[in-house]
């Protein structure tokens, strides 16, 4: 998987994400904020891992997806969270990507998303430092300029990459490393303030 794009696998990790009533109320409030016409969500500072998780989950669940479910979400370099899908193409030619839905993230939401979804790294922190997705023109939300979304290769290249990854997993490669936090573990703490 590429480092330049943060992928959204929360629905796979957390299943239905059953929550106590108090958290459901918080998530519903967050979801209503996310679906408002105002693209910048200025909410109270996110100060706990549970609040961060609820906010990010409500954000990703509020985004529209195609009925067939053949899509993926990614956080692009310009701070816009997009639901994308591959356009049909020959197996050995580069596959074009089209946008289905997009949500520009304010610096606060961007930090919450990265804290919850990604393991901390200096490279990611530097890439998103000072980024404000709400400053991206609306016409670029679904039709981003070149370079906002990383090249994904052809279907054959992606299939080979998945096969290589699965072979490494089968061979136990990387199992000697210390495991990272489990689902619901302590989130990262990215510092995205401009320097």
Residues 6+ apart with CB under 8 A from 42: 106, 108
183-72-163 Cα angle (round to 5): 80
Burial of residue 142 (number of CB atoms within 10 Å: 0-12, 13-18, 19+): middle
Q: Give a yes or no: residue 186 inside a domain.
A: no
Q: Is the pLDDT of residue 129 over 80?
A: yes
Residue 81 lies in a domain: yes
Ordered alpha helix ranges (H), the chain:
10-14, 21-35, 49-62, 107-117, 122-128, 139-142, 155-170
Percent of the chain past pLDDT 70, that is, above it, reads 68
In 3D space, the residue among 77, 79, 76, 43 whose CA is nearest the CA of residue 58 turns out to be 43
Q: How high is the pLDDT of residue 43?
A: 45
Assigned domain for 187 exists:
no
- Tokens found for residue 82: 């997009």
pTM attached to this predicted model = 0.63
Count of domains for the chain: 1
Asked if residue 17 has pLDDT above 50, the reply is no
Average predicted confidence (pLDDT) for the chain: 73
Q: Which structure tokens are listed for 132?
A: 């404000």
Does 191 reside within a domain?
no
- The CA distance from 51 to 84, in Å, is 27
Question: Which tens digit of pLDDT belongs to each residue from 22-78?
Answer: 333 333 333 344 434 334 444 445 456 777 788 888 888 889 998 888 898 888 889
Within a domain: 189: no
106 located within any domain: yes
- pLDDT score recorded for residue 166: 93
Q: Mean of the pLDDT values across residues 75-97? A: 89
Mention every residue, 6+ apart, whose C-beta is less than 8 A from residue 58. Answer: 27, 28, 30, 31, 34
Residue 22 inside a domain? The answer is: yes
Query: What confidence score (pLDDT) does residue 121 get?
Result: 84
Q: Which domain holds residue 118?
A: 6-170
Write out pLDDT tens, residues 160-189: 999 999 999 999 875 444 455 555 555 677
Q: In this predicted model, which residue has the larger pLDDT, 8 or 145?
A: 145
**CA dist., res. 102 & res. 144, Å (int):** 10
The answer to whether residue 98 scores a pLDDT higher than 80 is yes
Res 103 pLDDT > 90? yes
Residues 6+ positions from 179 with CB-CB distance below 8 Å:
none
Q: Does residue 184 fall inside a structural domain?
A: no
């Amino acid at each position: 998987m590429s480092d330049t794009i943060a992928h959204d696998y929360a629905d796979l990790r957390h299943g239905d994400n059953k929550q106590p009533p108090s958290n459901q109320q918080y998530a519903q409030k967050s979801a209503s904020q996310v679906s408002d016409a105002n693209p910048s969500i200025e909410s109270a500072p996110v100060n706990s891992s549970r609040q961060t998780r609820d906010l990010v989950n409500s954000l990703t669940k509020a985004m529209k997806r195609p009925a067939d479910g053949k899509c993926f979400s990614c956080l692009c370099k310009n701070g816009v969270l997009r639901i994308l899908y591959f356009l049909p193409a020959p197996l050995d030619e580069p596959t074009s990507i089209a946008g289905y839905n997009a949500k520009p993230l304010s610096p606060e939401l961007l930090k919450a998303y990265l804290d919850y979804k990604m393991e901390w790294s200096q490279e990611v922190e530097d890439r998103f430092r000072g980024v404000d997705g709400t400053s991206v023109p609306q016409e670029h939300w679904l039709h981003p300029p070149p370079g906002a979304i990383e090249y994904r290769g052809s279907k054959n290249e992606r299939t080979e990459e998945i096969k290589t990854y699965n072979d490494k997993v089968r061979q136990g490669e990387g199992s000697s490393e210390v495991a990272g936090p489990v689902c619901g573990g302590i989130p990262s703490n990215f510092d995205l303030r401009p320097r």
